[in-house]
Structure 1
Amino acid sequence: MRLVCPSSEKKTHGLWQITKWVSDHNCLGDLMSNNNASLTSAVIARHIVHSIEDDLGYKVKNIVSHIKEVLKVDVSYKKVWYGRRKAIELVFDSWDSNFAELPKYVDALMQSNQGSVIRWLHHSDSTDQMKTFKYVFWAFGPAIDAFHMCRPVICVDDTHLRGEYKGKLLVAVTQDANNQIIPITYAIVDEDTISSWSWFMEQFRYHVTRDRYPICVISYRHNGIIHAMTHFDYWQEPLAFHRFCLRHVRSNLMTHFKGLHLKRLCWAMGRARQLRK
């Protein structure tokens, strides 16, 4: 769309300013189309950057509605998606720079939390000048101390990492006497594989449980966890006991068999402490 009013974008504030007034014009109708080349993703980013600072969960569809209402422009979802990503980078910097700062960040955490542990596993092609981490494991000193005051039971699980670089977050938690959850250890890995879980469980035993025996480990039925619990002597009975999460067991059962009664029986059976029950 051709603009009759002469205007330009000012670098000082990033807004468009009319440089010459034309009394009769038709620059703006009720709604401009999404083909407006002036409204780039960078302009959108600068427009919503403060909203992103206040609410990182600001959704793309809500931004589209906001631009349509305030700027009177019908903008495409894709352009707003890129604008939102650029706004996040304006606030938190890029994914590359954040990952590059990870060693300094973790090191600062370790220095401010006495007794904390961090272990890195780098890719085989890493050099002294350029190291690429494959796994990183850390546990805060206060959490390690708390674990030794809690019941000898841990739950291990994983979840997906969201962002430009995919990966998995492995965690281990315990429960105190007030039945409150205490996170103990974390690890960032590329995938939840036999290799990554074995490495995680090895670090956990060496740096956290240490000489505390026995330990009960609760998990879902992942081959990597099962492998670690059966191939390391210190994770085998009577030094350790492996049990499966009842919620996951019941969920797997209900994929093959339906019914509320069966669902309740499965839970009652899993909670029973005596074989006869």
Structure 2
Amino acid sequence: MKGNDHPMATAKWAAESSLALFESPEDVTAPMIRRYIKAQWDITMSYQKAHIAKMIIHEIMCWNAKASYRILPAYADELPRGDDTFGRFFWSFGPSISAFNQTVRPLALIDETHLRGKYRGSLLVATAIYGNNGLFPLALTVVEPETYDNWVWFLHLFSQNFISAGRDVITIGSDRMKGLPRAVAEALPGSHHFYCIHYLSANFHGNFKSEDLQKLFVIAAYSLREGAFKNAMESIKSMSKSAEKWISEIPKQNWANTYFEGSRYNVLTTNTAESFNALLKGSRELPIAALVEQTRWRIFDFFQYRQKAGSKWTTRLTPNAEDWLADECILAGGYMVHQYGWTVYEVKSKYHVDEVDIEKKTCTCRLFQTMGMSCSHAIAVM
């Protein structure tokens, strides 16, 4: 019977036979098990049987999937002991909380990914962007399949842990998941919410199948000046009135740089949150307690790596910020500056005349407000 699946080649036998191949549960995949069984015994195992073997290896290396939920109270007291019903589990770490409250920009990117273990569910993730423009993990929550109540619960706990008394206004970025805009408005009433332009432009292209229209939509989203935004929207309208109508149904303060009311630090996508989800990819199939434990070690490694990298910096600001300001300083050298108020200046460049208020830290180019760092016009004034 070689060359075909064998009745005595059970999932349990396959798991025990291939267990030594894998150093950690995240490395286990059904295709690898199938290839190993084929190479060793010339038996073609079905994918379904290999998948069951993978789950058995997870239980050997970690915990039984059901028993794993009972272990969670050891991590926190939110779940009642002895209760087999699982609802939600929220976790974060001290360094994330203290850093977000003290030094990391008040910007949180929210994303959701689906778990692939025996009991499924969803993983809600909040990440920030630290000073050198890298991802900074904040909080995670395991919940039952997506509901509006899950988002409200997650954001309320996020608010309690991460929003200090002196920092009650933050920026939230998301893919506009179902129920999330309403949940943000309820749980974080003082926040500013923007939608990921990558997600919106992909939906836009899916509806209108035009790369030219999609490019104009992205230009409108990234435009800091109102005139540039209107020009892009007029071009879209002239090409497709239905496309312009589709865009107008999304509140422009939630996606367009020009009209965004908070500080988004020139972040228009949720790629950072998606990158963190990718980092957890191998953990999403593990039993719940193993998922929490693997996440803990990965975040510890993350902080250790960043600490070593940061200890080598010699500049006052992060390398990324220093480079950005150096470029702005070069631009500032070609401007004409006139003062016409105690803190207000007029700055003339080749194509624009901008007004800078040094005291309010604003510029009509909107880059000062958006980046949270001096734009070239403010540097020219200084």
> 1:214 and 1:36 mapped to 2: Cα distance?
62
2:16 to 43, 46, 71: 46
- Aligned partner of 1:11 in structure 2 is none
Structure 1 stretches lacking a partner, 5+ long: 2-30, 108-118
Please state how far the C-alpha of 1:181 moved relative to its aligned partner. 1.2
For the Cα contact (< 8 Å) 1:48–1:84, is it kept in 2? Answer: no
Equivalent residues in 2 for 1:14-93 (5 A)?
31=2, 33-37=4-8, 39-53=9-23, 56-93=26-63
Q: Which amino acid aligns with 1:43?
A: W
Residue 213 (1) aligns with residue 168 (2):
yes
1:139 to 77, 92, 98: 92
SS class of match (2:150):
helix
- Aligned partner of 1:171 in structure 2 is 125
Equivalent residues in 2 for 1:149-164 (5 A)?
149-164=103-118
> Deviation string for 1:51-84 (max 9, x for gaps)?
1335744443443333233223344444333333
- Aligned partner of 1:244 in structure 2 is 195
> 1:43 and 1:210 mapped to 2: Cα distance?
54
For the Cα contact (< 8 Å) 2:6–2:43, is it kept in 1? Answer: no
Kindly indicate which of the two structures has a greater share of residues assigned to helix. Answer: 2
SS class of match (1:45):
helix
- Aligned partner of 1:270 in structure 2 is 221
> 1:195 and 1:132 mapped to 2: Cα distance?
17
SS class of match (1:150):
coil
Please state how far the C-alpha of 1:49 moved relative to its aligned partner. 0.7
> Deviation string for 1:115-151 (max 9, x for gaps)?
xxxx73x5xxx7x643634112222111011112122
Further displaced range: 70-79 or 167-176: 70-79
For the Cα contact (< 8 Å) 1:192–1:224, is it kept in 2? Answer: no
* Cα 1:74/1:162, change in 2 over 3 Å: closer
For the Cα contact (< 8 Å) 2:70–2:84, is it kept in 1? Answer: no
* Cα 1:183/1:273, change in 2 over 3 Å: same
Residue 180 (1) aligns with residue 101 (2):
no
* Cα 1:71/1:157, change in 2 over 3 Å: same
Counting aligned pairs with the same residue, the percent is 26
- Aligned partner of 1:255 in structure 2 is 206
Q: Radius of gyration: which is bigger?
A: 1
Structure 2 stretches lacking a partner, 5+ long: 229-382
SS class of match (1:252):
helix
> 1:129 and 1:89 mapped to 2: Cα distance?
21
Q: Which amino acid aligns with 1:255?
A: G
* Cα 1:243/1:84, change in 2 over 3 Å: closer
Q: Which has the higher contact order (CA 8 A, sep 6+)?
A: 2
> 1:35 and 1:213 mapped to 2: Cα distance?
63
Q: Which amino acid aligns with 1:96?
A: K
Please state how far the C-alpha of 1:176 moved relative to its aligned partner. 1.6
Further displaced range: 66-75 or 144-153: 66-75
SS class of match (2:146):
coil
> 1:81 and 1:243 mapped to 2: Cα distance?
39
* Cα 1:256/1:175, change in 2 over 3 Å: same
> 1:57 and 1:129 mapped to 2: Cα distance?
32
Please state how far the C-alpha of 1:95 moved relative to its aligned partner. 0.8
RMSD, aligned α-carbons: 2.4
TM-score, normalised on structure 2?
Answer: 0.54
For the Cα contact (< 8 Å) 2:25–2:62, is it kept in 1? Answer: no
SS class of match (1:85):
helix
- Aligned partner of 1:225 in structure 2 is 180
* Cα 1:136/1:33, change in 2 over 3 Å: closer
* Cα 1:76/1:135, change in 2 over 3 Å: closer
* Cα 1:143/1:61, change in 2 over 3 Å: closer
* Cα 1:240/1:73, change in 2 over 3 Å: closer
> Deviation string for 1:199-241 (max 9, x for gaps)?
1111111221132132111112224221123334xx33xx321
* Cα 1:66/1:139, change in 2 over 3 Å: closer
* Cα 1:85/1:131, change in 2 over 3 Å: closer
